[in-house]
A and B are shown apart, each in its own frame.
Chain A
């Protein structure tokens, strides 16, 4: 735990801030702090939890929700593939390591050089646990503090837009070629225009996977994305 803690300090700041914003956002959207508390505990995936707020406020659409969750979280599949070896032989800890593998936890556990004299399983276990504690307490605190906020919170929902813009930009900067970003944007805008704001997500996701599959050969011939 002592070895793991320093690596999680940057996450501490980020998760407390984002978690609290998430909790406040849920509060101003009309949910009691129990919602962010439970959701941050059992979903534990920041971007999806923000999305879940707008899904909970919309009409009940289980199939669309499931498809959206799978697409948004699909990147975890590749985290898992990357961690196949690292999580081997961890026993019961493996279950929690997989359960709690959010983006930030993954990036630490995947990249950090664990000192020789520290048990790898316990190190990764505490990274995961600490990160989750930061996020859950931030979210619950935000949900509770939300009711004491007296300033005007109009426009706070933009935090989700800003977050996705930043993540998108980070992806953009990582890649040399931006074909897939264009495919995503073009497919979404086109479907938004054709199907309207309430029902464009499923067609957009279908178009994206179809577009990516169709463009695979040209993209790979051009030397991939990097």
Chain B
């Protein structure tokens, strides 16, 4: 572990604080009578895709494309996740299928 217990507690505390801020803020700032500012509404539509795209990149940040196994297990498993999801559109099936595929690949093949 790199962090001390205090640092872990602070990190978890920040997660709680940030989350609660995003959940409670609208009820403190906006009233249901006044319309929400247009820019805020635009960000609400636009942010999710961008952020989840970023999080996919975040998950893959340590993949070496030029060395190691060239990120092949990741690529194959992500293709399977996308394929399964487009086919059945069952969130759990896609996640479980992709993860099992990845585990088998890194344990047995690569």
A7 adjacent to chain B (CB < 8 Å):
no
A168 adjacent to chain B (CB < 8 Å):
yes
Which of A78-86, A129-137, A139-147 lines the interface with chain B?
Answer: A78-86
Contact B50 A74 (CB under 8 A): no
Chain A residues with CB under 8 Å of B51's CB are: 71-72, 74-75, 184, 208
Contact A188 B47 (CB under 8 A): no
Chain B residues with CB under 8 Å of A87's CB are: 27
Give the docked Cα–Cα distance between A32 and B30 (Å).
Answer: 40
B19's partner among A43, A158, A224 (CB-CB below 8 A) is: A43
Chain A residues with CB under 8 Å of B57's CB are: 185, 188-189, 192, 204
A196 — nearest CB in chain B belongs to which residue? B61
Chain B residues with CB under 8 Å of A155's CB are: 73, 99, 102-107
Interface residues in A7-61 by Cβ distance below 8 A to B read 13-14, 17-18, 21, 30, 38-39, 42-45, 47-49, 51-52, 55-60
Chain A residues with CB under 8 Å of B21's CB are: 70
Contact B14 A69 (CB under 8 A): yes
A198 to chain B, nearest CB (A): 8
Interface on chain A toward B: helix, strand, loop, or mixed SS?
A: helix
Give the docked Cα–Cα distance between A181 and B18 (Å).
Answer: 24
Chain A residues with CB under 8 Å of B12's CB are: 38-39, 42-43, 52, 56
Give the docked Cα–Cα distance between A158 and B3 (Å).
Answer: 23
B41 to chain A, nearest CB (A): 8
Give the docked Cα–Cα distance between A51 and B24 (Å).
Answer: 21
Chain A residues with CB under 8 Å of B32's CB are: 84-85, 88
Contact B47 A81 (CB under 8 A): no
A73 adjacent to chain B (CB < 8 Å):
yes
Give the docked Cα–Cα distance between A225 and B43 (Å).
Answer: 11
The total of chain B residues at the interface (CB under 8 A) is 71
A171's partner among B2, B49, B105 (CB-CB below 8 A) is: B49
Q: How large is the interface on A (under 10, 10 to 19, 20 to 34, 35 or more residues)?
A: 35 or more
B25 to chain A, nearest CB (A): 6
B61's partner among A101, A159, A175, A197 (CB-CB below 8 A) is: A197
Given contacts A155-B102, A208-B51, contact A84 B94 (CB under 8 A): no
Contact B14 A72 (CB under 8 A): no
A108 adjacent to chain B (CB < 8 Å):
no
Interface residues in B35-70 by Cβ distance below 8 A to A read 36, 39-62
Known contacts A78-B44, A161-B78; can you find 20 more A-B pairs with CB under 8 A?
A: A69-B15, A70-B18, A72-B55, A74-B51, A77-B44, A80-B30, A81-B40, A81-B44, A85-B32, A158-B77, A161-B59, A164-B55, A165-B81, A172-B49, A175-B49, A184-B49, A184-B54, A185-B57, A188-B58, A216-B39
Binding site for A on B (CB under 8 A): 1-3, 7-8, 10-12, 14-27, 30-32, 36, 39-62, 73-74, 77-78, 81-82, 85-86, 91-92, 94-96, 98-99, 102-107
Q: Report 17 cross-chain contacts, Cβ distance below 8 Å, ordered by A residue.
A: A13-B92, A48-B15, A66-B18, A69-B14, A69-B15, A72-B55, A75-B22, A84-B26, A158-B99, A162-B77, A162-B94, A167-B52, A180-B49, A185-B56, A188-B53, A212-B43, A216-B46
